[in-house]
Structure 1
Amino acid sequence: MTHALDIAADIIAPDRSADLPALVFAPAHEQARALAEGRVSAVELLAYTLARIDRLNPVINAVIVRDDTSAYAAARAADAALARGERKPLLGVPITFKENFDVAGLVTSVGDPAWADNRAQVDAPAVTALREAGAVVIGKTNVPLALADLQSFNAIYGTTNNPWNLAHTPGGSSGGSAAAVAAGFSALDLGTDIGGSIRIPAHFTGTFGHKPSYGLVYNGGLGVPPGKQSLRDLSVAGPLARSAQDLELALTLLLNRDPQANKTWRAELPAPRQHRLRDFRVLLLTQWPGQDRSESEQWVHDRLVAVVQAAGITPLTIEDLPDGLWPDLPATHRLYRSLLTATRPAPRPDTPHAKAEAQALREGSDDSDEIAGRRGPHLTHGEWLEKNEARMQLRQRWSRIFEHIDLVLTPNLVTTAFRHDPNPPKQTRTIPVSYADGVRQLGFFELFNWAGLPVLPGLPATAFPLGLDALGLPVGAQAIGPFLEDLTPIRFAHLLQQAGLSQFVVPPGFAG
């Protein structure tokens, strides 16, 4: 047996061992309740979790950095606090963080060998927030190189597999996060999202994930180089979990962590718009303008129609909105692509890549998604300001749309989890996507329509599972809500879960 398995055998009381296989897959808030009620100790829960990681993580490689010594110290402290009668939302609950979050004493590399020795000195504010809530930090979960892929592999930590099918990816860039939560290695994980990096891994692994409204959760202390103060435009930090209720719990803990802004400003989330499923005004959007539905999108459409009808909801379409209110989605997607790539520095002008880019910029059309993306890093400040104004105008338009509806339901991606394809560069990689007339090879940058839809205007979006497709792979959808009304899509997913219409399922081979 491995070291963690030996420790678990010594620590776990015989009368507790029968309960732990189920408890390790319980939502974080239920684990916290079990700890508060004395049904298990924090040390026992941690020992069992680490033993599971030792036994099963080699198969999926989700947890790539651990600090067992610190985790056991935190678990013992949690048990002492529980014995004193203290109660905190996550007291004694074992959790993980995406690798790009600074955790004191652990490396933050974003999968880049150039930063393999970058050991964080202090916790990121988000890490501090969950520690203060009593969480026991196990370690970190895997990412793609520079967080820039829909798969999670890098030269430092290797490849993370999907617990539902080891030949398939769990997604990226929060792929390790989603895989760890799905496999029962962590009750909660924090990821980041700028192009679906929380929602797509949740979709691929059958878990829940929430992309907060832009600016709501402070995401300093992330990534490299260390100590940077400017935050990446469009990017947000948010939770992945096995229940929507845990998304709300984590989000409330993460508020007001900006060390400068919290001197004066305090965010307080508006209450969810509705408290009963049948009262939600839901717009169903499952086909991107000008494109065929893939088989996965069709599956999501059919399942969403069944789900909302079972909930007593009559879904709306864009035709039910006032004329001229709905935005031009292809145009907004080009704007998203432009501002997304503008968050990255332009290549040095003397490199072959830069010369190829310059040629493409001269020859490309303004109505091309690809050219819009390539031009992003080369925008002048004045051009960026014009595009930013267009973004703000779009956010205002969405505010008017949400006067007529509460949520927009869409797919997360045009496909389910696809097979690993480590062949770089991703710019030339294609992904097989099934349609009614056969399989089509889509380019990497053709995959982000649904993911980018809420990112550009900064809207909150909650990913929730819908079930398994014919191949046994998880399929999910996203609920997009009004700006800063994050509790509305989260509550919708929670009510679906309560009604049995959206459920986390343990992947085969990972129970026990």
Structure 2
Amino acid sequence: MKDLAYLPAVEIAAAIRERKISAREVLALYLKRIETFDPQINAIVATLPEQAQERAAAADEALADGEIWGPLHGVPMTVKEAFDLVGTATTWGRTEWRDNRPNRNAIAVHRLVNAGAVVFGKTNVPTGLVDWQTYNEIYGTTNNPWDLERGPGGSSGGSAAALAAGLTGLELGSDIGASIRNPSHYCGVYGHKPTWEIIPTIGQRPPGRNASADIAVVGPMGRSAEDLAVSLDVLAGPAPHDAVAWSLELPKPRWERLRDFRVGVIYDHTCSAVDRTVTDRIAEVVAVLGRLGARVQEGAAPDVDLALSHRRYVQLFRAVTHAGGPQAVYDAAQAEVPKLAPDDMSYRAQVLRATVQDYRAWAEAVEDRVAIQRAWEAWFKDFDVLICPAAATPAFRHDQDKPREERTITVNGQTVDYNDQLFWAGIAGVAYLPATVAPIGTAGGSGDFAGLPVGLQIIGPRLEDYTPIAFARLLAEEIGGFHPPGGYE
């Protein structure tokens, strides 16, 4: 079958149901491709071949008996290393958790299996899931299939790289700081950050942690918008302890034609400059929307101070990521914060303050967050989606020599703070909004980013996750969707 390795998961499932190919054959293809191509990419960090082969055989036998397990029947897939998967370690790339071997699957993994998926392995992550580069002391560095000298993003970097290289049929990622959206953009695949808490995170938490984390979500990644929609059908719903009292029914997409969408556009912001290689591609999308008759308003945004929104996002986001960190880091922050100048709003200063903030400071941030959410609700009465960058540039070269707070990137020939681009993660994150990233082509010109994938972030109304996914699907019909990198035929 032509390009089987790169088919969207929904098409693989259809081919299996129609007996054009067996689940065992698709699994064998991916395992062979991992053997051939993954040594240079290092996206896959664990596989369960015998278990998966038994599962694929059972899927084929069930189909022969007229039984279909679900919409993902027989589809081989992998999941991000931070998800509990029986038979593998869940380390989050941290050496102290090397021996953490769960005895049950994460709820999200369980739901995918119940929908018929054949989960055969895991993909790489940054240490502690706290970087846009994917490397750690246990599994090493993951390379971007489009250019092995560059990273695939993070923290779901192994997930995006595996999809782009045709090493898996579907992926499951997580996102608090663009960890689904950033790698999808860098590797030219689709990813969806859901509305907060519509998919349980149980089984995708640090060892010993039981509470849901603010802003943090889990969501699907694939090679088509349809993959995202079908996966969301499977994944969304209350955790078992809540299902005794309530259920979830997400609204259908607002529109089924691009020309009916009311679209706001932001190309860049004072908080984060964006490279022309990204904004040029977004401008092309805007032109397409205009030709189709969609109502498009450039510079449109809710009645909220986006700079304040960004500060509150960093404050709440870093409170979460540092709450369970080493005591030594907390003690160092406590000693350092009193030395900061009151007007020091550098990324480092914001992180230090967030690490040791008291309840009063946190509560004030939450109050601002609620006001921000109300402003978005009002804005979405007049608009259906906001389109904007997912990151400041296409994929950059590996940069592991400095701590994150000291790193820089080059945007339009200028050196800027690596961390500024958290702004694009926080627009949706702080307000709990759903956001889909869709590939919209490759960077033009002859500069350092030429030929690399560019993704579009599509932000939708809270709990209306199918609207940005539908926009991504309809956009692909006009401009094309996923295209594989060369060299992996």
TM, length-normalised to structure 2: 0.94
CA shift for structure 1 position 358: 2.2
- Alignment of 1:121 with 2:107, yes or no, is no
- Counterpart Cα distance in 2 of 1:418 and 1:45: 33
- Counterpart Cα distance in 2 of 1:328 and 1:221: 36
- Aligned equivalent of 1:491: 470
- Alignment of 1:342 with 2:319, yes or no, is yes
Amino acid of the structure 2 residue aligned with 1:466? I
What is the root-mean-square deviation of aligned Cα atoms in Å? 1.8
Distance 1:330 1:297, change over 3 A: farther
- Counterpart Cα distance in 1 of 2:88 and 2:227: 25
- Aligned equivalent of 1:49: 30
Distance 1:379 1:351, change over 3 A: closer
- Counterpart Cα distance in 1 of 2:178 and 2:272: 20
> Structure 2, unaligned stretches of length 5 or more?
445-449
Q: Quick one: percent identity of the two aligned structures?
A: 42
Equivalent of 1:216, from 175, 186, 198?
Answer: 198
Secondary structure of 1:431 counterpart? strand
- Counterpart Cα distance in 2 of 1:349 and 1:118: 22
Secondary structure of 1:483 counterpart? coil
Contact 1:289 1:329 in 2 (8 A): no
- Aligned equivalent of 1:4: none
- Aligned equivalent of 1:191: 173
Contact 2:172 2:220 in 1 (8 A): yes
- Counterpart Cα distance in 1 of 2:187 and 2:194: 20
Amino acid of the structure 1 residue aligned with 2:180? I
- Counterpart Cα distance in 2 of 1:312 and 1:96: 40
CA shift for structure 1 position 370: 4.4
Which structure 1 residue ranges, 4+ long, deviate > 6 Å from structure 2?
A: 349-352
Map Cα deviations across residues 455-509 of structure 1 (whole Å, 9 max, x no partner): 000000000001011311000111100000000000000111123x141001101
- Aligned equivalent of 1:425: 403
Distance 1:460 1:290, change over 3 A: closer
* Alignment length (residue pairs): 481
CA shift for structure 1 position 59: 1.1
- Counterpart Cα distance in 2 of 1:509 and 1:92: 27
Q: How does 1:433-512 map to 2 (within 5 A)?
A: 433=411, 435=412, 439-470=413-444, 471-499=450-478, 501-511=479-489
> Structure 1, unaligned stretches of length 5 or more?
1-18
Distance 1:449 1:270, change over 3 A: same
Secondary structure of 1:447 counterpart? helix
Contact 1:96 1:188 in 2 (8 A): yes
Map Cα deviations across residues 402-448 of structure 1 (whole Å, 9 max, x no partner): 00100000011110000011114112122222x1xxx2222232121
Secondary structure of 1:95 counterpart? strand
Distance 1:426 1:350, change over 3 A: closer
- Aligned equivalent of 1:14: none
Contact 1:296 1:414 in 2 (8 A): no
- Counterpart Cα distance in 2 of 1:333 and 1:380: 19
Secondary structure of 1:24 counterpart? helix
Distance 1:107 1:258, change over 3 A: same
Equivalent of 1:170, from 147, 152, 157?
Answer: 152
- Alignment of 1:101 with 2:83, yes or no, is yes
Distance 1:108 1:461, change over 3 A: same
Map Cα deviations across residues 286-337 of structure 1 (whole Å, 9 max, x no partner): 1214665432343233222223224332411346x7xxx5211111100101
- Aligned equivalent of 2:375: 397
CA shift for structure 1 position 76: 0.7
- Alignment of 1:306 with 2:287, yes or no, is yes
Q: How does 1:214-253 map to 2 (within 5 A)?
A: 214-226=196-208, 228-253=209-234
Amino acid of the structure 2 residue aligned with 1:420? H
Contact 1:294 1:414 in 2 (8 A): yes
- Aligned equivalent of 1:38: 19
Contact 2:124 2:157 in 1 (8 A): yes
- Aligned equivalent of 2:447: none
